Structure 1
């Protein structure tokens, strides 16, 4: 059900290219995103990029509270008019990357969003800051979704795959064609769901080190592991070989074959304080 408190809510702001706006209009995809979030009764939902409110309408009908973050001032005005009679809806005018999502939620929350493709990765990692959402469902470029969920050894497996899968489970839920949007993007999209792992591969205090190490390692993805360690950690050949063998890894392995857990062993061996190893 749509809620409009004034004529201004009926005027739909045009998509803005500078914000990477492609408004999702396919009702089946919109419904699938809500379903992927699970039971929303008693739940706070934080929505990234509500746009004109197509997904927001569905969230408002099911959730106890909705906090929608929108950077486009015209859309903010439209949304505030649209939900003026809904006290459980808060429209926040802000760049999502400058907000603290958990603070906006004020407690446990789930996250949803049609993420602008030009800043997809920064937004996803921003949402991994602790405390994390209980679930997150994103609409992203299909290529990015495939990299997020790729297993070790897959041609799309890389730093994004490892850094996400170290702390969350990633599920590729469905492909979304360009015609589901207004205006249609030039690429296929996909819906993905992220849920925190019961036991992360890496400790919170080492996450920043882990991400930096993984990024550096995949910058040398065709190099053997000993060479990677020598370069990234500035070690001589003997010490690099010792680190690799102590971690139970093949010195000739390449980064694209290592699991998130194996990367974690290397990071602990290189950077963890003795008491935390």
Structure 2
């Protein structure tokens, strides 16, 4: 059995109850395509192949890839892909509707989660991540952990904590607690796909000034004078003196829409 490699941030999940809860959180899998990120030695994959119509597992570690291809050699509905998940178009790989699951390496958690938001998004995604990250993903406005990650995710998906996972559930055990989170695309996102990139950039910049009043944030981030910034906030229906951590994703979306010139507006020509 291949050993865990520190440079890949590998911590193999071994707790059967946690493994079962991850699969259960995906919902019914009969006839569905499951894309798994970081299958490791196959503990979660073993459960997926029993329930899913098709399983595509993406693994970067060549030794683990060989192990997995041998393990599932007699299962035509299982495909092992040797690749860095950040270089793979998940919708293209799936070739249709799919669900996503993964014990995500903690050092690249956020890039992977946002990479998985490529359209069309998975019908549901279940991640095993560092507990602190899970709390930030699901945090409501005003919470001490609410930040750019919370807003940029919750603008387009619903995030739910499934369960906490102790270090003892892994081999080798990490130094931090973990958690399982379920991410489901919102039927009506707060932000349109056309301005999503600008939305994310604005939110990141705003939380870099999280202790500043909103009018100062808008002046700084959008390079506006005080009068124009006040007009923008009025058009967005937002007060001047609130701080970024109190705004909902919908609030941020209204603000970014006002700041985004329409194709037929004089400012865009």
TM-score class, shorter-chain normalisation, is over 0.9
Structure 1 residue 260 corresponds to structure 2 residue 249: yes
- The 2-side partners of 1:275 and 1:156 are apart by 39
- The 2-side partners of 1:40 and 1:24 are apart by 21
Shift of residue 111 of structure 1? 0.1
Shift of residue 272 of structure 1? 4.5
- The 1-side partners of 2:25 and 2:118 are apart by 21
1:77-226 to structure 2, matched below 5 A, reads 77-226=66-215
- The 1-side partners of 2:80 and 2:262 are apart by 43
- The 2-side partners of 1:274 and 1:197 are apart by 27
Alignment TM-score, normalising by the size of structure 2: 0.97
Shift of residue 274 of structure 1? 5.7
Task: Mark the runs of 5 or more structure 2 residues left unpaired by the alignment.
Answer: none
1:6-85 to structure 2, matched below 5 A, reads 12-85=1-74
The count of aligned residue pairs is 265
The 1:52–1:272 alpha-carbon spacing in structure 2 relative to 1, beyond 3 Å, is farther
- The 2-side partners of 1:272 and 1:174 are apart by 43
Alignment TM-score, normalising by the size of structure 1: 0.95
* Match among 217, 231, 238 for residue 242 of structure 1: 231
CA RMSD in angstroms, aligned pairs only: 0.9
Task: Mark the runs of 5 or more structure 1 residues left unpaired by the alignment.
Answer: 1-11
| 1:55-85 Cα distance to aligned partner (Å, 9 max, x none) | 0000000000000000000000000000000
Shift of residue 193 of structure 1? 0.1
| 1:180-236 Cα distance to aligned partner (Å, 9 max, x none) | 000000000000000000100000011100000000000000000000000000000
Shift of residue 128 of structure 1? 0.5
> Where has structure 1 moved over 2 Å in runs of 4 or more?
none
